[in-house]
Amino acid sequence: MKIPTGWRDEKFDRYSYILLLAPAVGLYVTFIIYPLLSGLRYSLYNWDGVGPLSNFVGLDNFRYLLTSGTFSKFVFRAIGHNLYVFGLTVILQLALGLVVAYLLTHSHWARIFQTAYFVPYTLSLVVVGFLWGLLLQPQWGLVNQLLRTIGLDALAQPWLGSETLALPTIVVISTWHGIAFPIMVFNAAMIGIPSEVFEAARVDGASYLQIFLRLVVPLVLSTAILLSMLLFIGSFGAFELIYILQGAEAGPYYSTDVLGTLFYRTAFGGMGATATGMGLASALAVLNALIVTPFSILFVRLQRRFTHAF
Amino acid sequence: MLKSRSLRLPTMVAALLAIVLFAGTVVAEPTTVSVWTWRTQDTPIWEAVEKKLNEMGEDIRIEVRPVTATQYDAVLSTAMQGGQGPDIITSRAGSTVASYAASGQYESLEGKIDLSNFDAGTLAQVSYKGIPYAVPFAVQTLHIYYNKDIYSSLGLRVPKTWDEFISNLEATKQAGFMPLFVAGREAWTLPLIAEVVGATWLGNEWVKKAINREVDFTDEHFVGMLEKINEMKPYFQDNFTASNYTDMGIAFTTGMAAHVINGVWAHASYQTDNPDLDFGIFLAPGATEDITPQVYAFADGGYAVNAASKVKEAALKVIAIMATIEGGQIFVDVTKEPSAVPGVKAPADDIVLQEALKQYSEQPASPIFGIRSAFDMPPVSAEREEVEAYQGINSLLMSSLQEMLGDKISAEEAARRINDGLSWYFKK
Contact B408 A161 (CB under 8 A): no
Residue B1: pLDDT band by 50, 70, 90 thresholds?
Answer: very low
| A281 → chain B, closest CA residue | B389
Identify the residue with better confidence: A183 or A251: A183
Residue of B nearest to A49 (CA): B77
- Closest partner CB to A137 (pick from B247, B371, B394): B247
Q: What is the rounded distance in angstroms from the CA atom of residue B59 to the CA atom of residue B51?
A: 10
Q: Which residue of chain B is at minimal alpha-carbon distance from A68?
A: B388
In Å, how far is B23's CA from the nearest CA of chain A? 42
Query: Across the interface, which of B387, B403, B420 has its CB nearest the CB of A64?
Result: B387
B14 has a pLDDT exceeding 80: no
d(CA B386, CA B370): 25
Pairwise CB contact (< 8 Å): A251 & B256: no
Q: Is the pLDDT of residue B3 over 60?
A: no
Whether residue A280 lies within 8 A of chain B, CB to CB, comes out as yes
Over residues B4-26, the mean pLDDT reads: 57
B19 pLDDT band, cuts 50/70/90, is: low
Judged by CB atoms closer than 8 Å, whether chains meet at B384 and A55 is answered as yes
Distance CA B168, CA B162 (A): 10
Question: Over the stretch B311-335, which tens digit does the pLDDT of each residue have?
Answer: 999 999 999 999 999 999 999 998 8
Q: Do B185 and A162 touch (CB under 8 A)?
A: no
A105-133 per-position pLDDT tens digit:
877 787 788 888 889 999 999 999 999 99
Q: Do B242 and A266 touch (CB under 8 A)?
A: no
Residue B201's nearest CA partner among B168, B164, B167, B162 is B162
Question: What is the DSSP annotation of B96-129?
Answer: HHHHHHHTT-BPP-TTTS--TTS-HHHHHTTEET
For B307, nearest residue in chain A (alpha carbons): A51
A82 contacts chain B (CB < 8 A): no
CB spacing of A266 vs B389 below 8 angstroms:
yes
* CB nearest A159 (choices: B242, B256, B390): B242
Q: How many helices (H) and strands (E) does chain B have?
A: 18, 12
Cα dist from A44 to A38, A66, B390, whole Å: 10, 15, 17
Instruction: Reply yes or no on whether the pLDDT at B248 is more than 90.
Output: yes
Q: With left for phi above 0 and alpha for psi between -120 and 50, is residue B143 left, alpha or beta?
A: beta
- pLDDT tens for residues A145-183? 999 999 999 999 999 999 999 999 999 999 999 999 999
* Cβ separation B77–A49 shorter than 8 A: yes
Instruction: Please tell me the distance from the alpha carbon of residue A180 to that of residue A93, in angstroms, as a whole number.
Output: 9
Name the residue among B180, B102, B190, B177 with its Cα closest to residue B378. Answer: B102
Cis peptide before B338 (omega within 30 of 0): no
AA identity, residue B401: L
Contact A139 B403 (CB under 8 A): no
Q: Cα–Cα distances in Å, from B129 out to B98, B102, B110? A: 8, 9, 12
Residue A65 distance to chain B (closest CA, Å)? 9
Entry pTM:
0.83
Reported in sequence order, the residue ranges of chain A that DSSP labels E, i.e. its strands, are none
The pLDDT score that the predictor gives to residue B39 is 85
Q: B239 pairs with which residues across the strands? A: none
- What is the amino acid identity at position B286? G
Contact A250, A261 (CB under 8 A): yes
Q: Chain A, 173-232: which have a CB under 8 Å from a chain B CB?
A: none
The SS3 call for residue B309 is coil
Q: What is the model's pLDDT at position A156?
A: 92
A140, closest residue in chain B (CA to CA): B247
Q: Measured between CB atoms, which of B104, B241, B388 is closest to A161?
A: B241
In this prediction the ipTM stands at 0.81
pLDDT score at A1? 52
Residue A162 near chain B (CB below 8 Å): yes
B185–A251 C-beta distance less than 8 A: yes
pLDDT category, B11, cuts 50, 70, 90? low
Give Cβ neighbours of residue A52 (< 8 Å, ≥ 6 apart): B103
Beta carbons of B381 and A251 less than 8 Å apart: no
Average pLDDT, chain B: 91
SS3 A55: coil
Q: Which has the minimum average pLDDT: A55-59, A67-71, A133-137, B197-201?
A: A67-71
Query: How many CB atoms lie under 10 A from the CB of residue B235?
Result: 21
Report the residue of chain B nearest A47, measured CA to CA.
B381
Region B200-222: mean pLDDT is 97
Cα four-point dihedral sign A178, A182, A184, A185? positive
Task: For residue range B26-85, list pLDDT tens digits in order.
Answer: 556 889 999 999 888 889 999 999 999 999 999 999 999 999 877 788 789 889 988 899
Calculate mean pLDDT across residues A255-281: 87
Of the candidates A50, A251, A276, the beta carbon closest to that of B105 is on: A50
Interface of A with B in 18-37 (CB under 8 A): none
Q: For residue A23, give how far its alpha carbon lies from the nearest alpha carbon of chain B (Å).
A: 24
Alpha carbons B34 and B60: distance in angstroms, whole number:
10
Q: Any CB–CB contact under 8 A between B351 and chain A?
A: no
Please determine, for residue B263, whether its predicted confidence score (pLDDT) is greater than 70. Answer: yes
How many angstroms separate the CA atoms of A292 and A296, rounded? 6
A185 to chain B, closest Cα gap in Å: 34
Q: Pick from A64, A246, A268: which is nearest to B185 by CB?
A: A246
Mean of the pLDDT values across residues A63-92? 94
Q: Which helix (DSSP H) or strand (DSSP E) does residue B64 occupy?
A: strand B60-66
Q: Crossing angle for the helix pair A180-191 and A96-105, nearest 10 degrees?
A: 50
Which residue in the set B184, B399, B408 is minimally distant from A161, CB to CB?
B184
Mutate to test the interface with A, among B381, B390, B416 (most CBs of A within 10 A): B381
Mean model confidence pLDDT for chain A: 90
Any A CB within 8 A of B28 CB: no
pLDDT of residue B2: 46
